[in-house]
Chains A and B, each alone.
Chain A
């Protein structure tokens, strides 16, 4: 479970971001909003990359407001640059198990298992530079799997993928999330991509969460004028 209470960060140029949000255990929430509204900042606050000026962040029942990123029960998949180019695929995944990971024994078995779950068996010795965008995202997902953290954050995970890869990756994410019961937050520019993945959507506007609701309802009948503007839906429907 994720709970943000008045979680606030002030930037000199970008302004103030203040979030209140609650996501239930095993729930999948999509986060949408215009560029600069604060979607990625929200994820970075939860992951611990952006420190709070005030407010709290509770993760899996514990106050984690001041915890370092590695101490939080979170895995995160970024839009790009998810892999260390100088390390092979197995080590990239294995670092999710331990910073002292060696390619042997039980940890390596876990890596093979995770790679097979994302459809990349036999990719252990490949270098990230030889992978396609979709394969690289799958490796990142395999690392998230071996980390076995209850919360998965995805920041624009489809941005670097072509249309067919997007649907494959969405399907894979959806299965993983349901099988493992992970709490998942996905930031995306394209609301339609979240349709099959998230049962709920949060709309971020002007550094705050303006509205949260059922995905279908939010997209078909926007409950907030700014969301209607963002989706390009005529104002008379709001």
Chain B
């Protein structure tokens, strides 16, 4: 082991301890009085049933919708607006769930666009978006694009000759799907389904806002309610255990499949692909997908415009929330990026390739890099929420904890963005740097910083996007006067100031859009 491994090891040990202490605090809060009898209660049974039902149908609907969309997008590489549509598929992943809720309500709610249109057409229908249907709708809005993008990437990663061969053999329409696309995608579907299942089991914000009551609640929401409203740490600990078991089971299933599917750039350049006529069914698929994704975003903008902006900007709470959000998100993003850098340096430079220590390190690296999938931010927050009772200066500690939770949440994404660029730079400059004696800080300043500045900037921007929109950890610590923008939106919704909440959601949405656009531009320059 070399000295360059130490910062990475310290990061992994630090984050590992942070997670372990959170879980320990939860277990200790439950103590010997863990209310195991509550496992059989009707409420717990309904939580389990709802968590599994909504996850199952979210997966099913997302995949059924994504499959034709991915096939059409892969078959048609050269129609006007394709690039924008593919970019749009990435947007929901970064959009704060609380922001999307406003758009979805404006389209699908009781007074939303769809209800209005149906009534104008003479149907006496008012859609009710709260409950299972609302949660499903929101989960499909977020996960259908994710599934479509993963499937599209999987198809694009096949050798270009596979599809040229299919073109030459006249495999088109249904025969192309049955002979080629379906067999390729079928092998990929369990991974996609597992990932979506994991996201839906750990869904918090969407269920909290659209669930509509105790009968449509998940364990995540129940943990939050047990801590914030009932102050029943033992019950929160019990539900955390159940939540961890559920998520852990899916994570083991995913690991057995070889990890979550990756979202990468394709192999067949658009310029190489032949233009083919877009048939009616293809147009239909694209039209429905665009409407489904764009309508809530457009509605979010229109809805936000009705806010009383003068009064809103005069609110001290708004400016305080903006300040808090920016400080927390920037700190979390910086921490996630620096931690990732240290972890990557240790992984690529800190050990001999054949050493046993590297294998141990890799295990820790993989655990910290993906733990957020199994241990959601709310659970981590819940552990620390319980641990910090009675501590001095709770606001400051709460802010630090939210920063740590958010940094940990962003870590897998930041690692995924930085890792390929870092590895490429390592392949190219490792021997050269060694030959001229560049090590440590010199190597960082002369090689890493200039070469990796852009990928680092992209990673930082994505971490910022994820952190600024997070409600999970911040919602718990709202009790310590820690009000971020998502918490402010939730508070405004709770006091029925929906227009103000929509205005703040629009502000948050615009900030996130601006960051994504900046990151995408930088990404384009890199790639």
Interface of A toward B, CB cutoff 8 Å: 11-12, 44, 47-51, 68-70, 72, 74-76, 78-82, 84, 86-87, 95-96, 99-100
Contacts and interface: CB of A to CB of B under 8 A. Distances in A.
B167 A69 contact: yes
Q: Which 8 A-B pairs have the closest CB atoms?
A: A70-B170, A81-B159, A99-B175, A86-B183, A69-B167, A81-B161, A78-B161, A69-B168
Contacts of B161: 78-82
A78 B162 CA distance: 10
Contacts of A48: 167-168, 274
B23 to A, nearest CB: 43
Nearest to A79: B161
A76 to B, nearest CB: 6
Given A84-B179, A99-B175, A47 B159 contact: no
A47 B183 contact: no
A165 B362 CA distance: 41
Contacts of B159: 80-81
Contacts of A99: 169-172, 175-176, 179
10 contacts: A47-B164, A48-B168, A48-B274, A51-B275, A70-B168, A78-B164, A86-B184, A96-B169, A99-B171, A99-B176
Contacts of B271: 11-12
Interface in B146-181: 159, 161-162, 164-165, 167-172, 175-176, 179-180
A74 B183 contact: no
B272 interface: yes
A69 B275 CA distance: 12
B237 to A, nearest CB: 47
Contacts of B180: 84
Interface in B55-93: none
A106 to B, nearest CB: 18
Interface string B247-280: 0000000000000000000000001101110000
A55 to B, nearest CB: 17
B2 to A, nearest CB: 39
B270 to A, nearest CB: 11
Contacts of A12: 271
A100 B174 CA distance: 10
A69 B187 CA distance: 28
A68 B274 contact: yes
Nearest to B171: A99
A179 to B, nearest CB: 22
A76 B167 CA distance: 11
A51 B171 contact: no
A48 B172 CA distance: 15
Interface string B221-246: 00000000000000000000000000
A69 B171 contact: no
Contacts of A68: 167, 274, 276
